[in-house]
Amino acid sequence: MKTKWYSRLSPVPSERNRESIYLAVLFCFCFLLHNNGRIFAQGSCPVNIGFEKGDFTGWVCYDGKIDTRGVISTVPTAPIKGKHTLYKNVAPQERDTFGGFPVNCPNGSGYSVKLGNHGAGSEAQALTYTFTIPAGQNDYSIIYNYAVVLQNPPGHAPYEQPQFMSRVFDVTANKYLDCGAFQFIAAPNLPGFRESAVEPNIYYKDWAPVTIKLSGYAGKTIRLEFTVNDCSKAVHFGYAYLDVDENCTTPITGNTYCKGTGAVILKAPYGFKEYYWFDENGNAVGTGNTLSLNPPPPGNTQYTLQIVPFPGQGCQDTLHTTIIASSDFMKLQTVDSVRACPNPGADLTHPSITAGSTAGLKLEYFTNIQETEFIDNAAAVSASGLYYIKATSSSGCTETRPVMVRIDPPPLVSITQPAPICTPGTVDLTQASLVSGSDANLQYSYWQDTLASVVLQNPSSVSIAGNYFIKGTNTTGCSTIKKIVADISNPPQLTTHNISGCGSLAFNAATVAASTDPTVAISYWQDITATLPASLQQVFTSNSVVYIKAKAAGGCSIIKPVNITINPNPSFTVANPPVTTRPASVDLSTTASANNGLLYSYWQDEAATKPLSNPASIIQSGTYYIKGTDAKGCSAVNPVTVTITDPPVTPPNAFSPNSDGINDTWLIPLLSYYPDCIVEIFTRHGVSVFKSAGYTKPWDGKLKDTDLPVGTYYYMIRLAPGKAPVSGSVTLIR
């Protein structure tokens, strides 16, 4: 089936070669528009392209569906909460549920937009933004960053998967641009991606940038298009975040300095593969996304930066910046270090931290010198380390200084729980023996809650059972709160359960004994007199008896036996099936021994946690697992090895593209089993007339929509890495 990845946003789907990356979709985009050092006129930056108004002014929202054929249909709509959702960048920064990275781009912008949601229902959403590149701005680029997390459902064809599309449309020329266009389709095992620790079959990639060069497009109208959809079966989701940086001059920042500034630190967009800085004489002066210039160079000094993206992540670009020497005075003065207790932590926003600095500075707080990671809560830093305060003056001058935060360790408070007692006795929580092993010279106080906000009256004579809290405070004012239990109860109630296992059984105390009274202490013994303790790590391989002792707070106890029964595991044999060639499949139900009273199930893994969806028709080579279960619930798992070879590819030696409906294209049987193949066709002189990554559109005997002459042509087909290429000749006749 031919898949269609388009919506009503474009009248005709583009037929150009697109780079497709198969993954689960959660996309976060951060754009930087620049014209390589030439300062834009006021207003040339598209209005609200970065959502900094806190709304969707200038953007067009769409909502719709993906049908069972994989065709996406959307219509314009007002912003729908939950489908087109604005996020304000606040501290602490919100993290994505599945990837754990910030939902706002790490560029400090004020708003991001979530496109779609993690619900499922064959939904599709889109956003577009149309703008015109100013006349004369022929050196123009877009840089956007993305982070990806998508659900990857098993058993779906690519056109049925959740996906995300990012495209750039030249409205003036009525065509899509290749640079920066992506189609992301859910699939596992992608380079640079990780599986979510929150939920299996969800994959994510942390922030990375992409470049789109728009050189030579001055005066043309461009449309940015973003489309996201769930799977076509209405079961699995895909969604994206968008964030556009409204910097329409150059993405290089830090080029302005004031009197009193110690150094200039030029900062480029982070996340590219390589950076190469040059001075105005063409001399290489640095690498990395920052360039420190100390002392600051004279005003109007120019620097050039070449940024190289990772493979498949946009286009290489060249950026320019000019040093601006302001006559304003600016001074950022910070303390060298701050000491604080873990709770509430160090407050880097306190005026004393920057006392002596120029008034009116805008302050930002970072965890790294590259200034890409904001401190989640600069008013309550709870981890020791080197942090960075960046100051920006009203004239645009910046300076960054480090501050060392030292979090003093909390005092050690070691609690020995008091012995349980029976009513009507009381517990003395002030006994020195209960805090033996704690730090010396601590002052202790006693509380009813974990926050130490409700004082415990008369802690030396507690008559009500429950959890209480001891707070130990040292001479520096740091404190630790620990729970202490007053165990006061009546004689215990105990319920036991006999247990059984297959082959062996690891002892699990929670399954054999319980009490409705949470204060009851339960212990385990080998004998009825409770003199030989039973190990809680014991593994039983034969029938046994364990004795359970329940002891109340007052010392009252009862003992009950628990019988442990061990049943044998079943045994069966598996025969590996003969080697099969595609498109034939293998039926695993024919490989295990029959008529033995076992119920068989079929799995992808030895632990039998991932079931096979169609064991009667296996089409991939590999090792699978058969689990046989008897009437007692005992089971065994045996592997079975399936070998399915790829079919040979034999291209036809001739075809006749004469529009008679017969052999009008060069159809190659069985090549569809090699979706990543590369097909290239040459003239007898070695000139390439056709090249295709994959072969979803067969050759029609044309070069750029022009019929090629009758004759013999030569082909080279690279099926897949590690497989020998197929080559030969094909005759074109009409």
Tell me, what amino acid is at 155? Answer: G
Report the chain's mean pLDDT, rounded to a whole number.
Answer: 85
- The yes-or-no verdict on residue 5 having pLDDT over 70 is no
Asked which of 31-35, 57-61, 463-467, 556-560 is least confident by mean pLDDT, the reply is 31-35
Distance separating the N- and C-terminal Cα atoms of the chain: 28
Per-domain residue ranges of the chain: 19-245, 256-323, 337-407, 421-489, 495-565, 580-645, 654-732
Considering only residues 664 and 194, tell me which one the structure prediction assigns the higher pLDDT. 664
Percent of the chain with pLDDT over 70: 88
Q: How confident is the model at residue 100 (pLDDT cuts 50, 70, 90)?
A: confident
- Per-residue model confidence (pLDDT) at position 373: 78
Pick from 221, 213, 234: nearest CA to 171: 221
State the Cα–Cα distance between residues 261 and 396, nearest whole angstrom. 12
Pick from 288, 291, 320, 290: nearest CA to 305: 320
State how far Cα 35 lies from the chain centre.
Answer: 32
Kindly report the CATH number that applies to the domain delimited by 654-732: 2.60.40
- Per-residue model confidence (pLDDT) at position 16: 35
- Per-residue model confidence (pLDDT) at position 613: 92
Q: Is 432 helix (H, G, I), strand (E, B) or coil?
A: helix
| Average pLDDT estimate for 470-490 | 90
Residue 601 in tokens:
């199930």
Q: Are strands 726-732 and 654-655 parallel, antiparallel or unpaired?
A: parallel
Tell me, what amino acid is at 289? Answer: N
Phi and psi dihedrals of 433, rounded to 5?
Answer: -65, -25
Q: How confident is the model at residue 182 (pLDDT cuts 50, 70, 90)?
A: low
Whole-angstrom CA distances from 207 to 28, 80, 85, 149, 501 are: 8, 26, 20, 11, 49
Q: Give this prediction's pTM.
A: 0.48
Whole-angstrom CA distances from 120 to 90, 404, 566, 730 are: 28, 47, 45, 48
State the Cα–Cα distance between residues 498 and 543, nearest whole angstrom. 11
- The yes-or-no verdict on residue 454 having pLDDT over 90 is yes
Q: How many residues does the chain have?
A: 734
- Per-residue model confidence (pLDDT) at position 394: 85
Strands (E), 504-577: 505-506, 513-514, 521-525, 539-540, 544-551, 557-567
State which CATH number among 3.40.1350, 2.60.40, 2.160.20, 1.10.3470 fits the domain covering 337-407.
Answer: 2.60.40
Kindly report the CATH number that applies to the domain delimited by 580-645: 2.60.40
Asked which of 82-86, 142-146, 280-284, 538-542 is least confident by mean pLDDT, the reply is 142-146
- Per-residue model confidence (pLDDT) at position 249: 58
| Average pLDDT estimate for 181-200 | 75
Q: How confident is the model at residue 356 (pLDDT cuts 50, 70, 90)?
A: very high
| Average pLDDT estimate for 2-12 | 35
Task: Please give the helix or strand (H or E) that residue 511 lies within, else none.
Answer: helix 509-512
- The yes-or-no verdict on residue 510 having pLDDT over 70 is no
- Per-residue model confidence (pLDDT) at position 44: 55
Q: How confident is the model at residue 86 (pLDDT cuts 50, 70, 90)?
A: very high
Tell me, what amino acid is at 613? Answer: S
| Average pLDDT estimate for 434-463 | 95
- The yes-or-no verdict on residue 7 having pLDDT over 50 is no
Pick from 248, 398, 390, 268: nearest CA to 324: 398
State the Cα–Cα distance between residues 557 and 521, nearest whole angstrom. 9
Q: Which residue reads 């295990």 in tokens?
A: 592
Tell me, what amino acid is at 642? Answer: V
Kindly report the CATH number that applies to the domain delimited by 495-565: 2.60.40
Cα four-point dihedral sign 230, 231, 237, 238: negative
- The yes-or-no verdict on residue 138 having pLDDT over 80 is no
Cα four-point dihedral sign 213, 217, 218, 221: negative
Q: Quickly name the fold that domain 19-245 has.
A: Jelly Rolls (2.60.120)
State how far Cα 511 lies from the chain centre.
Answer: 38
Considering only residues 436 and 40, tell me which one the structure prediction assigns the higher pLDDT. 436
Task: Please give the helix or strand (H or E) that residue 509 lies within, else none.
Answer: helix 509-512
State the Cα–Cα distance between residues 17 and 354, nearest whole angstrom. 55
- Per-residue model confidence (pLDDT) at position 208: 66
- The yes-or-no verdict on residue 179 having pLDDT over 50 is yes
Q: How confident is the model at residue 210 (pLDDT cuts 50, 70, 90)?
A: low
Asked which of 4-8, 214-218, 385-389 is least confident by mean pLDDT, the reply is 4-8
Question: For the chain, how long is the longest CA-to-CA vector?
Answer: 108
Whole-angstrom CA distances from 621 to 187, 584, 611, 640, 716 are: 19, 12, 16, 11, 27
How would you class 420 by CB atoms within 10 Å of its CB: exposed for 0-12, middle for 13-18, buried for 19 or more?
buried
Tell me, what amino acid is at 99? Answer: G
Q: How confident is the model at residue 694 (pLDDT cuts 50, 70, 90)?
A: very high
Phi and psi dihedrals of 91, rounded to 5?
Answer: -105, 135
* pLDDT tens-digit map of 632-654: 999 999 999 999 988 889 999 99
| Average pLDDT estimate for 580-590 | 90
- Per-residue model confidence (pLDDT) at position 702: 94
- The yes-or-no verdict on residue 8 having pLDDT over 50 is no
DSSP per-residue string spanning 644-656: EEPPP----SEE-
- Per-residue model confidence (pLDDT) at position 481: 95
- Per-residue model confidence (pLDDT) at position 221: 93
* pLDDT tens-digit map of 601-619: 999 999 999 999 999 999 8
Residue 713 in tokens:
């042509």
Q: Residue 651: CB partners within 8 Å, gap ≥ 6?
A: 666, 668, 671, 715, 717, 726, 728, 730
- The yes-or-no verdict on residue 3 having pLDDT over 50 is no
Comparing 19-245 with 654-732, is the CATH topology the same? no
Asked which of 48-52, 196-200, 411-415, 648-652 is least confident by mean pLDDT, the reply is 48-52
Task: Please give the helix or strand (H or E) that residue 116 lies within, else none.
Answer: strand 111-117
- Contact of 137 with 131, CB cutoff 8 Å: no
Phi and psi dihedrals of 332, rounded to 5?
Answer: -110, 115
Q: How confident is the model at residue 582 (pLDDT cuts 50, 70, 90)?
A: confident
- The yes-or-no verdict on residue 304 having pLDDT over 90 is yes
The arrangement of strands across the sheet holding 466-473 comes to: 443-447, 466-473, 479-486
